[in-house]
Amino acid sequence: QPTSTSCFGSHLEERLYFTELMGAIYTDSSVLSALTLAFLEDTGWYKANYTNAATSTFGHRAGCSFVTGDCIVNGKVPEWGQGFFCDTPLGVTSQGVPLVDVQQTMCDPTRRKKAACDLIDRSELANDLLYGVSAELPSEYQYFSDESFGAASMPLADFCPIPSMEMQDCRDSSNSGQYEVFGKSSFCYTSYYQDQFARWRPFSPLCIRTRCNADDSSIEVEMDGRKVTCSEGDHGEMLSLPRTPLRISCPRFDVVCADLVCPANCSGRGVCEKDDTNSVPKCKCFDESDKSLGCFGSQSAMTDADDVLPKDPTMTPARDPKKGEETPASTRVMVPTQDPTLLPTYGYPDSGSGDAISDSDAPLPTASPTQAPVVTLYGNSWRGSSPATTMSCAFVTAVLCSLSVVLLLL
């Protein structure tokens, strides 16, 4: 994806790879995926250890329409885009600053943070918040009847509105809130309360302790020592949240428990298929002898010259491509053998980890939810393509930036 005057581009397409490390915009939610590792291998300089790959959850198993279709259809997010895109516009102050209604906050695409939709009337936005991009949308990216409506901070994602204005991290244990528990095992949930007419209304998103159960392919949600379960196919189902007057909506299993669904997207070495049972899809590796969960391959068969790395790979390749000479064996290092990790170890932390909670650690919730403040101003809080957050290095530099990460993981 071009992010400067170069026609080659230096990043993956942000519209498709929002949560990928080599996407055009970086945040701490970006992951190192098998796609980036495969790209690095294709340079001919590296052997990647795919057991270190994570799944980029943006659009994970959302179907071909996620790739080929518009992010907004008839002014609304289509079913396949729910949770990834948004259609809730922000207001704008007289100074051209986004006005965020706290009651309009939602979960970000990773389900790890609370965020606001960056949909806005771009004609009203202050020029310095457009980061040099014209307020007028290209015709192919006009998704609403009002042609000036579009993403404020996502021009590199085809101006698709995304819940990208990060407001609160569920993993930060220093945060607190009613009916919430923050920590490394917490995920964001859409919640609802019942009004005086017995109608269920949207409430603020909640950060709640979560565990991915590999035995029955479910999401276990815990509140004050009690839990409810969302099955793999329960996306959008409403469940009562224990010991509260609220309900929550089951999230996508493929996002919250991505490592239980074809880990690392089968490392590009297999296909993700369901068998005849009701279990979650599993990798069917192209190499029938590869029985690893993510088609990670064998790390123990590296014996010839093609399976070695130089000590300083960013300086000298294992062979001199011009002279056809091979670097002396004394300067080459074998890739360390690592057994694939069968299942991720995350969910409820062990006691004593600093993230555990029991009934005695938190007071019982009140009988009725307390509404959040009506409005809050955020001048420049979204995840955007500003100089402070955009990875603007050129193609070669961008690759080398990632190489140091890969080498640490090998």
| pLDDT value at residue 146 | 87
| 200-202 and 191-194 strand pairing | antiparallel
Alpha helix stretches (DSSP H) within 145-275: 253-256
Greater model confidence, 212 or 279: 212
Share of residues in the chain with pLDDT > 90 (%): 40
Q: How confident is the model at residue 383 (pLDDT cuts 50, 70, 90)?
A: very low
- If you average pLDDT over residues 91-118, what whole number do you get? 89
- If you average pLDDT over residues 139-155, what whole number do you get? 86
Give the residues across from 310 on adjacent strands. 332
Cα 252 → chain centroid: 12
Q: Lowest mean pLDDT: which of 110-119, 193-202, 302-311?
A: 302-311
Q: How confident is the model at residue 303 (pLDDT cuts 50, 70, 90)?
A: very low
C-beta separation of 37 from 269 below 8 A: no
User: Per-residue pLDDT for 227 more than 50?
Assistant: yes
- If you average pLDDT over residues 42-64, what whole number do you get? 91
**Residue from 151, 111, 126, 167 nearest 385 by CA:** 151
Q: How many CA atoms lie within 13 A of 255 on its CB side?
A: 24
Over residues 229-243, the pLDDT tens digits come to: 999 889 999 999 998
Over residues 321-333, the pLDDT tens digits come to: 444 544 444 443 3
Over residues 61-79, the pLDDT tens digits come to: 999 999 999 999 999 999 9
Across the chain, what does the average pLDDT equal?
75
- If you average pLDDT over residues 13-34, what whole number do you get? 86
| pLDDT value at residue 237 | 93
For the chain, the 3-state helix, strand and coil shares in percent, each to the nearest 5, are 20, 20, 60
- If you average pLDDT over residues 171-196, what whole number do you get? 94
Q: How confident is the model at residue 275 (pLDDT cuts 50, 70, 90)?
A: confident
